[in-house]
């Protein structure tokens, strides 16, 4: 049944209208039938997941590296540069610009309490969202790539038998190559953004914030899983 479905998908690609207008495929001599969902667009599904993961890891970076608009009191003041009276000193030198100004403003009131540099109440759901999206991608990626490989193998057979023109086969190969390049780039970006978030959380820990172990480990796992998923993609 899988082979028949792959042939159907290959032939659909060759039509100008595609299979979008098909509600169902009638039963053939072997008694097989395919619902409309069987010929749904898997390319758009996997790319949508990859792009969503980009957005979620970008949001994780934003929440892990800023508190509102800057990195918190320690960015402009630094815990090591707090005077005995609780005043921020040399904030402009360390933080510069907005970070220094906010660091001085926040530091006077908050540094005595070892300010929460990163709001974990915001970071935790961002990590959870990215983990869920990464898990969905991992669940479907191998099957998606395998089906693509089988589709191209089937199209090669159709081309060799004269049922598919060489230019049509080449067009599909080019299309798959572009899809995989997009997917690989998206996963590489997600891995890099997870790494940035992990580093920011580590820096917050170095500045005195506690309770970050799970968040750092989870960001690192996201990075590793995105790198691993990227490594499974052949660009043909």
**Do residue 167 and residue 186 come from a single domain?**
yes
CB-based contacts of 28, cutoff 8 Å, min separation 6 = none
Same domain, 84 and 164: no
Rama region for 78: left / alpha / beta (φ>0; ψ in -120 to 50; rest): left
Would the pTM count as exceeding 0.75? no
Do 58 and 92 share a domain, yes or no? Answer: no
With beta carbons less than 8 A apart as the criterion, state whether 104 and 77 touch.
yes
Residue 36 or residue 194, greater confidence: 194
Mean pLDDT lowest among 71-75, 165-169, 198-202, 219-223 = 71-75
Tokens 């009191």 correspond to 73
* 191-204 residue pLDDT tens: 999 999 999 999 99
> Do 213 and 99 reside in the same domain of the chain?
no
For 61-96, what is each residue's pLDDT tens digit?
Answer: 999 986 533 333 333 444 333 333 444 433 333 344
130: domain CATH number is 1.20.58
Query: Tell me: the pLDDT tens digits for 114-159?
Result: 568 999 999 999 999 999 999 999 999 999 999 999 999 999 999 9
52 is in which domain, residue-wise? 42-67+118-231
Residues 145 and 205 in one domain: yes
Of 126, 190, 151, the residue nearest 43 (C-alpha):
151
Q: How far apart are the first and last CA of the chain?
A: 26
Number of domains in the chain: 2
Residues 101 and 83 in one domain: yes
């Amino acid at each position: 049944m899988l082979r028949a479905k792959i042939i159907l998908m290959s032939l659909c690609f060759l039509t100008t209208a595609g299979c979008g207008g098909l509600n169902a495929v009638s039963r053939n001599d072997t008694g097989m039938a395919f619902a409309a969902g069987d010929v749904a667009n898997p390319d758009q599904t996997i790319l949508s997941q990859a792009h969503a993961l980009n957005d979620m890891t970008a949001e994780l970076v934003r929440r892990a590296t800023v508190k509102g608009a800057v990195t918190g009191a320690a960015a402009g003041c630094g815990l090591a540069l707090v005077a005995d009276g609780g005043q921020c000193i040399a904030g402009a030198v360390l933080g510069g610009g907005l970070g220094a100004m906010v660091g001085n403003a926040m530091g006077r009131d908050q540094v005595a309490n070892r300010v929460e540099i990163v709001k974990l109440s915001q970071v935790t759901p961002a990590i959870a969202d990215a983990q869920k999206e990464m898990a969905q991608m991992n669940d479907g990626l191998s099957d998606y790539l395998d089906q693509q490989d089988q589709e191209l193998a089937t199209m090669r057979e159709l081309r060799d038998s004269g049922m598919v023109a060489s230019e049509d086969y080449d067009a599909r190969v080019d299309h798959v190559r572009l899809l995989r390049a997009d997917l690989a780039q998206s996963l590489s970006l997600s891995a890099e953004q997870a790494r940035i978030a992990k580093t920011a959380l580590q820096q917050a820990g170095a500045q005195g914030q506690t309770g970050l172990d799970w968040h750092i480990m989870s960001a690192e796992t996201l990075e590793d899983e995105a790198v691993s998923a990227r490594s499974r993609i052949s660009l043909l």
